[in-house]
Structure 1
Amino acid sequence: MKRRRICSLPKNRSFGPTGLLGKEIAIITMTLDEYEAIRLIDLDGMSQEACAESMGVARTTAQAIYNSARVKLAECLINGHELRIEGGEYILCQGEKLGCSCNHCHKKRSILQIKNGDD
């Protein structure tokens, strides 16, 4: 399986319902590449084609990753399951070193340059 490029790791890796003391909660695991597809398409507003390019996969692969992630999100929201984000076949983006042109990496680099005084 080809490793998918992701631009950052999630700040939070576990989400779940609250107020269910003593009740067994099912856990759904979303891979980091599924998380990245949701971030790129739903949050950043990318097309599936642009998402695929950013992740270094075919458009049909990006579509399959995205569809799988949406099913997992729906399971958690509708059925009150815990969501954990971990694993998958991925490579963490190194920005321009890998030819990345995503806004996320550019934003990170700009913030780091300002902090380091590299204007």
Structure 2
Amino acid sequence: MPRPRKRRRVCSLPNFKVFGPLNGTINQDDFILLTVDEYEVIRLIDLEGLEQEQCAERMDVARSTVQRMYSNAKKKIADSLINGKILKIEGGDYVLCDANHKKCSPCFGGRHRHRRNGSQHID
């Protein structure tokens, strides 16, 4: 029996979930799905400047898992940019961190973004 999959910790959901070319027709084959946990890896490594090990600690997963997700996410983003496909961010195996989670405190430069009662706010 395989080991149960560990849910990845994500600080917040993306504000923008669909990206793509503005010209041309939209075909269902032209959609690429980037999961929320892959989005979080890109955010932490490329935007926040964390190392893979730091990212893994923040997301509560192994460094090898971060490395695999990062590689998959970069391929999807490159496919979207090079081939003019629409990139949608949704799904994945994740859990949103809460404001009291000790590993979340550095997220967003000390500011937190969490959904409470259906609305977003910054603490």
Give the TM bin, normalised by the shorter chain: 0.7 to 0.9
Q: CA RMSD in A?
A: 1.7
Spell out the pairing of 1:1-119 with structure 2 (5 A cutoff): 1-20=5-24, 22=25, 24=27, 26-96=30-100, 98-100=101-103, 101-104=105-108, 106-108=110-112, 111-112=122-123
The percent identity for this pair of structures is: 50
Q: Deviations over 1:41-94 (max 9, x none)?
A: 000000000000000000000111111100000000000000000000000011
Count of matched residue pairs:
109
Amino acid at match of 1:35: Y
State whether residues 99 and 112 of structure 2, in contact with CA within 8 Å, keep that contact through their aligned partners in structure 1: no
Amino acid at match of 1:59: R
Which deviates more, 60-69 or 24-33?
A: 24-33
Higher strand fraction: Structure 1 or Structure 2? Answer: 2
Distance 1:5 1:107 in 2: 17
Higher helix fraction: Structure 1 or Structure 2? Answer: 1
**Max Rg structure:** 1
Unaligned runs of 5+ in 1: 113-119
Distance 1:31 1:107 in 2: 23
TM-score (normalizing by structure 2): 0.82
Amino acid at match of 2:56: A
